[in-house]
Structure formats: C-alpha cells, structure tokens
Structure 1
C-alpha cells in the first residue's frame, strides 16, 4: 500500500512502537494520523511532535466503546480510515497458572478482543472501498511463546491467529493484513529487563516502524524485525517435540538463574 494521502489510526501511540509508527506514517505522507492511547497526555505530546496531521485521542482498547468512538472521530473528520495499527499492549506480570483471573481477562481484552473490536469498526468500510490495511502488533511470543509469562504468550498467540483469520477472510476483498512479531524492542515495557526475548538483541522502535512500512509496501503478512524468529518458527514446525524440549531448558534457566 502507498501510505501517501491515507488516514491512519495507531493505538498505543503514546510511546514505543506506536509512537514510532505514528511518526513514520506521517513522514510517509499520511494526511491524518490519530495517536490513540490510554495515556491521553502522552499521546498529545506525540501528536504535537508530529505536527498538524496528527490528532491525539484517549482510548482504552479494553473497552469496545472507546474503539468505536475513536474510529467514529476519525471518520467524521477525514471520511474514512485507511490504516488501522492495532498496536496497544500490556506486559502484565511474570507467572503462569497461579496468576489471577482478572489479569488473564485484561490480557485477553487487550491482546485479543481489542483487535476484534477494531476490525469490527473499520473492516466493513475497507471492504466497501476495496482497500485498507489492518496491522496487528503481536510478538515473537505469538509464534514461539515466552517462558516468563503464560498470559502474555497465550494471548499473543491469539493475536497472531486473529490476524491470520482476517487475512484469510478479507484478503481477497481489498483488506491487507500484516502481523508484527518482534522480539525485544526498546520501549517502556522493556525498561525492567528483556528476559528471554532479548536473546537476539534489542531493536529501537524506529527500526521496527521501518520494517512495518517496508512490509506494508510489499503487502506481506509477517513483520519479523528480528530475522532469527523465522528460523525458530521453522524449527518449531519441523520438530515440535525437540523445540518444546529446548523451551523447557530455557524455562528452567529463567526460573532458576545461576
């Protein structure tokens, strides 16, 4: 897709990958960029930095009504939404089955249903026009899992699966779909450490945004800023049991570091 002249929404746009994407979309010539985030004040700062094409708006993606209001505002001002970057995410806490249901539910909402609600709001219009782009920010954890956090790994798998389904269902109706699956990126979420995700280095958010734009131009599905992930994914598919054994060793290392 050519970004020039398009209208974009970026959730989680106040920092990290979202802020970098909002800036990059504006630099690519988007005529409108909504910087949406639960932290409206920080979103406003990003929008000011971008300039006149950017508009900040508070949005809690765990609430469908917030996403509907965001899309309605963009449609009222610009007439349509061409690009939706469904990027907002949360780290939660480390752990597994012992973690409380409330945390699991929040992760399901932010990493699962938020993408569903966003697609519900924008995809019909994209189909009607015969063109649109929907980008889901998942994680390498959505392809490979992550040993430190069951809720994060499981819900990021859901994000990848939903992006796949969107591509299957709407790819021949003009809706382009890509799924971003990086390992560790320099954001607020990694300030406390990168854990196992940092094995192949920590990328800047600007590097990731550049990879997303390149993928959008080529209209490929997976965005893999860390190219090693492709090989890990292949290894998983070729010998699942061996791959699981390797992940068990990794889990043991991070659960009981020397």
Structure 2
C-alpha cells in the first residue's frame, strides 16, 4: 500500500509508536492523518507540526469513542484507507490481576479492534478496499512474561487480524499485524536490563520505518525485531522445548517482575 493521498487514522497517536507513525507517514504525503488519543494536548501539538494532520481526542476503550472516531473521519474526509489500531496498555500481574484491570486491558487492546472493524468495514467493503494495521506485539506470537492480561489480549488482537485477513481478503481488505518486542515509549521506560529489552530496545522511529516498508509490501506480519520470526518458528516446531526455554527465561527475570500496575494511558504502545 502506498500512503500518498490516503486518509489514515492512527489511535494511540500522542506517544510512542503512534506518534512516530504520524511523523513518518507525513513524509509519504497522505491526504489526511487523523490522530486519536485521550491526550488532547499532545495530539494538538503533533497536529500543529503536520499540515495534513488533525487531532481528535477520544476514548477508544469504549465503542462510542471508536464509532465517533470512524464516523467523524468518514463525514469529514469521505473514506478511511488505513486504520491503525495502535493504542494499548500494559498491566503487570498474573492470575490475581483484578477483573477491573483485566477488563480495561481487554477493552483497549482487543475490543477496540473489533469496534473499529465494526464501524469502518461497511464503507471499506462498499468501496472494495481498505487496510487495517493492528499493533499486536511480539507477545501475540509468543507470550509476555510478567503480564497475563497483556499476553492474552495481544494473542486475541493477532487473532482478530488473522480473521479479518482470512474473511475479507477476497473483498479487497488488507491487514497487517505489527509485532515488535521492546520499543522506547512510556510503557518501557525504566525497563533497561529486564526481559523487555533482551533483544534490544528499538526506537519508535525505527519501528515506524519498518511499518512503512511492511505496508508497502503488504506483509501480514511486520516484525521490527527479526529474532521474533525465528522464535515463532521455534515455538511451532517444538512447542515443548519452547515452553522449557520460556520457563528458564521466567526464572532468570522473576526478580524484575513486581506485581505492580503500570498504566500510562492509551498512548502507550
């Protein structure tokens, strides 16, 4: 997909990967960038630097917020060529994660993609074209040590991406799943030396470059960390051995996984 002259929506655009996507996409001369987040001030600051961008503050953790984002974009610009579902949050913790925390992670990391597709697909199908980019994380292909809710939600996000590609691919709908490991953002701040950066912490700008390349070739999996492909293959080829390796990694980093809660807002990841 070439991004020039396209109408593009980016959620979680106030920070991290979403912010980097906005600046990187702007270099491709899109028709319009609609930047969405709950952080209105940061959004407006970014939009003020990008002539083709506009800020739309909304909460994608509820269906009404996603519907407002999609409907407003369609009313103002007539189409959505690329919907980047990038917003996400992380909660550390295992089975004792509260239902309320788990639900919030689920709504933002999973339901937001379903709501986006529910709202945007009809117009895309009518035109016979449309593209969804879902930030699923390497955790969606592997797992997330220290966070049950994040691991489960990212597996689900990847499953949504797969299902959309399988079900609507013949109708002109394209899908990519962005699956990086650790990326410099508020979410990973202070995690140097932990499992988050075991294969290197990439800048959000590097990830954004990979996204443009992946969209250009319409790759389903966009893997800024090349190691992830091999890990995924190892998992498929010998599940038992992969589990043993992950158990070893869990023991290695167990002391660096406090049972606290991390939530920097929807702009993260």
Higher helix fraction (1 or 2): 1
For 2:187 and 2:22, the matched residues in 1 are separated by 18
On the 8 A contact 1:146/1:197 being kept in 2, the answer is: no
Structure 1: gaps spanning 5 or more residues: none
Correspondence 1:98 to 2:96: yes
The Cα shift of 1:65 comes to 0.5
Residue in 2 that maps onto 1:188: 186
For 1:63 and 1:190, the matched residues in 2 are separated by 25
Q: Secondary structure at the match of 2:187?
A: helix
Correspondence 1:161 to 2:192: no
Correspondence 1:253 to 2:266: no
The Cα shift of 1:40 comes to 1.2
Q: What do the CA deviations read for 1:160-205 (whole angstroms, capped 9, x no partner)? A: 0110001001111111100000000011111131531311101111
For 1:136 and 1:23, the matched residues in 2 are separated by 18
The Cα shift of 1:217 comes to 0.9
The Cα shift of 1:147 comes to 1.1
For 1:208 and 1:80, the matched residues in 2 are separated by 26
Residue in 2 that maps onto 1:21: 21
On the 8 A contact 1:44/1:56 being kept in 2, the answer is: yes
TM-score by length of 2: 0.92
The Cα shift of 1:210 comes to 0.9
Correspondence 1:31 to 2:17: no
Q: Greater relative contact order (Cα 8 A, min sep 6): structure 1 or 2? A: 2
- Of 65-74 and 222-231, the range deviating more from structure 2: 65-74
TM-score by length of 1: 0.96
Root-mean-square deviation (Å): 1.0
Q: Aligned residue pairs: how many? A: 255
On the 8 A contact 2:11/2:35 being kept in 1, the answer is: yes
On the 8 A contact 1:37/1:60 being kept in 2, the answer is: yes
Structure 2: gaps spanning 5 or more residues: 257-269
Q: What do the CA deviations read for 1:31-58 (whole angstroms, capped 9, x no partner)? A: 10011001111111111122x2100011
The Cα shift of 1:253 comes to 1.6
Q: Secondary structure at the match of 2:33?
A: strand
On the 8 A contact 1:148/1:254 being kept in 2, the answer is: no
Structure 1's consecutive aligned runs of 4 or more residues displaced over 2 angstroms after TM superposition are none
